[in-house]
Structure 1
């Protein structure tokens, strides 16, 4: 079954996760936790399930609300939302709460799937899957470093500039921005190579369910990545340059 935007319906949040980790991965989760008076600051090192149990809350309801928030943000891209009309801060928050969350969630899941099918199908498809494993490993490393650079350096500087513009801050932003644009090109090249190696993400005939699922998830990752890059390269960055 497909969910929003053709993405497979997968659970993005688990009660076993630490509260602080959930908010770090999906900042808008903080709004949900505030509703239920769940401490995500000083109490962020606890599993969500512990807070739910202590406060006698409804676990299913909270997890569903988290999924709903995530789904609402992602559905923005299906509607006629003109991202050019959002403030730079609003656009950045959208990128963080949808695309960054998706990447952080999917990188380890896809990596595990690729390792699994390489182990099981190394005899008949070893050459292809070894290439897939290597390419995705490079993509994962680049994306993890890229997200950190955006979250810790680039995006905070852009938000600050929108509130208090200065020539010095603008020069710093443009310097980092050029680096991230080059990283976008590198990530785009890697995902295109993955498409080529996997025959456009088509699993071999008579493949097992895990093989088919892995290729499907890679295709969905490609779709999200291209939209992610589009919002930055074609909308956010040109506004800084202008």
Structure 2
């Protein structure tokens, strides 16, 4: 969003850069009901330096754009693993805890009118646990084993690694099924007409989580694990 400026409305910033909601939330800047004000005015009301807030937002935007511009399928094994860990694993550890309170609030406030939001909350809790356990296992155990095997593909390492790859792909399938259910019950993340700002943020960030997870799984299943299978 190259139009980021002091006169950009807070609500427009969150629409284009959903993760900015975390910054506004920490700064106690209202991006929901009171979001139709310029960033400069919103920051000054909180006694903040508008330029400093804008700088933080631009850094967030640049970080996202830089990551999206990289094409990792041509990376070597060590670089590819580091890329997966930095872009996807680190992002999940940051995003999932930050997204949780928004989902909890929307389910609590709107779950009576839209009961499927309670199931959205359940799916998210399951996804959060499974994805964090999955990435932790990869970082601690599987990825170091892959690097060791690719550098020295001995029969012993081959037998040790094979079940891990199968198990990880099975876990990827399970995450895919949960994401499919999430998309189905939300009608392709279609917001009801009375959706508030927090409701909108939840859908935008869940859809981004879906995209990032599919990209993440593709790189592991169809690039990294394919290389392992070729060596096996």
TM-score range, shorter chain: 0.7 to 0.9
Q: Residue 69 of structure 2 aligns with which residue?
A: 75
Report the CA distance shift for 1:211/1:143 in structure 2 as closer, same or farther (over 3 A).
same
Offset of residue 216 of structure 1: 0.7
Report the CA distance shift for 1:64/1:155 in structure 2 as closer, same or farther (over 3 A).
farther
In the alignment of these two chains, the number of paired residues is 190
Match of 1:133 among 113, 121, 125: 121
SS state of the match for residue 123, structure 1? coil
Q: Where do 1:55-204 residues align within 5 Å?
A: 71-76=65-70, 81=71, 83=73, 85-125=74-114, 127-204=115-192
Per-residue CA deviation, residues 175-215 of structure 1 (Å, 9 max, x unaligned), is: 11111000000000000000011111112112101001101
Aligned equivalents of 1:116, 1:98: Cα separation in 2: 27
Per-residue CA deviation, residues 62-100 of structure 1 (Å, 9 max, x unaligned), is: 998798566534420xxxx361x3211111111111011
> Which has the larger Rg?
2
Report the CA distance shift for 1:66/1:218 in structure 2 as closer, same or farther (over 3 A).
closer
- The TM-score, its normalising length taken from structure 1, stands at 0.69
Higher relative contact order (CA 8 A, sep 6+): 2
Offset of residue 165 of structure 1: 2.5
Offset of residue 7 of structure 1: 7.7
Offset of residue 10 of structure 1: 3.0
Report the CA distance shift for 1:69/1:166 in structure 2 as closer, same or farther (over 3 A).
farther
Aligned equivalents of 1:13, 1:71: Cα separation in 2: 18
Is 1:10–2:30 an aligned residue pair?
Answer: no
Aligned equivalents of 1:176, 1:115: Cα separation in 2: 34
User: Any stretches of 5+ residues in structure 1 without a counterpart?
Assistant: 15-59
